[in-house]
Amino acid sequence: MHLFFQELINGLVVGSLYALVALGLALVYGTMGIPNFAHGHLYMLGAYVAFFGVTVAHIGYWPALLLAVAVLAALGVLLERVVFRPLRSAPEVNAIIAAVGVLFFLQTLAQIWFGADFRVLPTPYDHVVHLGGFVATQQQLVVIAAAAVLMVLLFLFLKRTLVGATIEAVAQNRAGAALVGIDTDRVSMLVFGISAGLAAAAATLIASISLISPTMGFSVILKAFAVIVLGGMGSIPGAIVGAFILAFAESFGGTYVSTSYQDVIAFAVLAIILAVKPTGLFAKGT
Amino acid sequence: MRRLLWTAVAAVALALPLLLGNSFYLHILAGAYITAIAVYGLNVILGWTGLLNLGHAAFFGIGAYGVALLETRLGWSFWPALAAGCLAAMLLGFAVGLIGLRTRGNYFAIFTAAIGVMIATVFTNWQDLTGGNIGIVNIAPPSIGPYALDNDVAKYYLVVAALALAILICTLVRRSLVGRTFLAIADNESLARATGIDVARTKLVAFVLSTFLAGFAGGIFAMYQGNLDPGSSGLDITFEQLLYLVIGGIGTLAGPLLGTLVLVAVSELLQGIQQYRFLIFGPLLVLLVIFFPRGIVGVFDRLVAPKLRGRPVGPVGDAEAALR
């Protein structure tokens, strides 16, 4: 039973991480149809910005998180403008190829600047909390709480503000949105900014629990794709539900089945879903 | 003109061992040729039918592990092991294609990425069979009759022959009716279907051919190296092969070889800063896909060839180039 609770906490932490990363991926896919394979590397860069914010600039934990979000949001906007906008009318695979180019660049940049060493982001929340019989670190609870707050804020932004409504409009029908006077180019940049910002927030939160390295983006991006396929490409609630399903499958599967094949669970889930339903679960129309 | 060019390339490839005393360069070249075979496979599926297989390197791994395991565990000789490795890659390609090709566009790329990572994970984690990260060593060299091909030059010629075979297969398929249906699908899937092409079956044929070439390259790789580890099968290797293809020219016959040779050569020239080469190659990939989606060969066809022969520039010229 003790082990069960421990895995429950782990599942919630990992699920929060997957949800934040996958939300960004789903937003971009939903509004622009771009599977951004470089998303995991934006996440990686976010972790480094926060790391240097805390250890070199000494600006403190939360300001470092905000700095990472701001820097990566700016980079996301830049990517949309420079890389993905010129490819909007090109065949679908061209955007994937361009994303692979961005990914190569970012990973090499990180290797040059930061070296291949693994790092851990220092956190002020390093105490252990006892919650009636089982234990969690403060940082684990911070991850869960912060992710929940971010998800609620994103939801309110999309559903309750005019700017959020324009994003939804572009996602539903790009040409229609343009016809009613929405600046779709600006919406695209905004979406990329939010997407990269969310990835940076996720990376900063988890960087005190797992390790930072230039290749940390690779495993996360594939998990995030598994999540959004599970949740229906481009669906926001689907991404959140999918993230927690995958995280629990991994943490319990890792404990009770096999740790060396823990990482395969995500890809097996993804392959099975696409085999059964080629358009993904909960897909909006076809 | 083209036939002359290919003959010249073949002559140079055959003469190089006599000119290069240094076996280091021969080794680099043979590695590039093997990669080029795999890139030809990627070209069949991406260039000719417009589908991106992000698990391509895993099929390379199937062929490579097929050869390595059959030789070291069961004592098979190289040739039947190579045939079995290719067959395994094709059978897996058939199964993955049967399921995966029901998805479209981006889903196919994500689906195959997942399959590829799963296969690579099995290579790494099934330690009793594959030796895990250490891999398999002492894969015996092949022999033709009584002659063992156990030196670098003999192996080099075997690799050249394999590459020539791969290019020949691609050329023949490209000129056949099947090859033209591939192009019809890449160009306009609905129109192709309307003209009576069985789109699902044609895509499956293309995919199996592409996985055959990947498995074939893998088998040759295991033979040439004499050892094998899971690093040859990862997603990053597929990305690298994609880079070679895009730079050489997607959908062209010379592109895979040209892109691989140019980038391997540039990588060698950048000695010392070699690990940083993707700082240049990454943005280059982005620029090419935006401005020159058909790579070096596309640039040549668009800018140089018309001046040589007075062909029209633009879509007409491109379509003609695609059918040559």
Chain B positions in Cβ-Cβ contact with residue A270 (cut-off 8 Å): 110-111, 114
Tell me which chain B residue has its CA closest to the CA of residue A35: B106
DSSP characters over B12-63: HHHHHHHH---HHHHHHHHHHHHHHHHHHHHIIIIIHH----TTHHHHHHHH
Cβ <8 Å between B118 and A104: no
Cβ <8 Å between B103 and A278: yes
Nearest to B300 by CA among B245, B258, B244: B258
What is the pLDDT at residue A259?
Answer: 67
Measured in degrees and rounded to the nearest 5, phi and psi for residue A131 equal -115, 85
- The rounded distance, in Å, linking the Cα atoms of A197 and A66 is 9
Of B110, B279, B286, the CB nearest to A98: B286
Residues belonging to chain B: 324
- Cβ neighbours of residue B166 closer than 8 Å, sequence gap 6 or more: B36, B37, B40, B41, B213, B216, B217
- The rounded distance, in Å, linking the Cα atoms of A2 and A4 is 5
- Cβ neighbours of residue B61 closer than 8 Å, sequence gap 6 or more: B119, B120, B123, B218, B230, B232, B233
CB contact residues (below 8 A), chain A span 106-125, against chain B: 106-109, 111-112
* pTM of the full structure: 0.86
What is the pLDDT at residue A4?
Answer: 80
Contact B248, B256 (CB under 8 A): yes
> Across B116-210, where does the E strand assignment appear?
143-144, 147-148
Tell me the per-residue pLDDT of A45-71, one tens digit each, with 9 for 90 and over. Answer: 999 999 999 998 889 889 999 999 999
Angle at B94 between CA B256 and CA B161, to 5 degrees: 40
What is the pLDDT at residue B324?
Answer: 42
Between chain A and chain B, the number of residue pairs with CB atoms below 8 A apart is 131
Tell me which chain A residue has its CA closest to the CA of residue B119: A264
- The rounded distance, in Å, linking the Cα atoms of A87 and A92 is 9
Residues belonging to chain A: 286
Instruction: Please state whether A145 falls in left (phi above 0), alpha (psi between -120 and 50) or beta.
Output: alpha
- The rounded distance, in Å, linking the Cα atoms of B277 and B271 is 10
> Does A175 contact chain B (CB < 8 Å)?
no
Low-confidence ranges of chain A (pLDDT < 50): 285-286
What is the pLDDT at residue B21?
Answer: 67
pLDDT in tens, chain B (324 residues): 677 888 888 888 887 777 776 678 888 888 999 999 999 999 999 988 888 899 999 999 999 999 989 888 888 888 888 999 999 999 999 999 988 888 766 788 888 988 898 898 888 888 878 877 777 877 778 877 777 777 878 888 889 999 999 999 998 988 888 888 888 888 888 888 888 888 888 899 999 999 999 999 999 999 888 888 888 888 888 988 999 999 888 888 888 998 899 888 888 888 777 778 888 888 988 998 888 888 888 888 777 776 666 544 444 334 444 444
What is the pLDDT at residue A284?
Answer: 52
Nearest to B247 by CA among B287, B307, B305, B288: B288
What is the pLDDT at residue A272?
Answer: 82
Nearest to B149 by CA among B78, B205, B208: B78
**To probe the interface with B, which of A96, A103, A263 has the most B CB atoms within 10 Å?**
A96
> Does A84 contact chain B (CB < 8 Å)?
no
What is the pLDDT at residue B314?
Answer: 42
What is the pLDDT at residue A187?
Answer: 93
List b or e across B188-198, with b for residues whose CB sees 16 or more CB atoms inside 10 angstroms.
Answer: ebeebeeeebe
> Does B118 contact chain A (CB < 8 Å)?
yes
What is the pLDDT at residue A26?
Answer: 92
Tell me the per-residue pLDDT of B99-155, one tens digit each, with 9 for 90 and over. Answer: 888 876 678 888 898 889 889 888 888 887 887 777 787 777 887 777 777 787 888
What is the pLDDT at residue A283?
Answer: 57
Of A33, A106, A222, the CB nearest to B114: A222
What is the pLDDT at residue A280?
Answer: 65
DSSP three-state, residue B148 = strand
What is the pLDDT at residue A78?
Answer: 95
What ipTM was predicted for this assembly?
A: 0.85
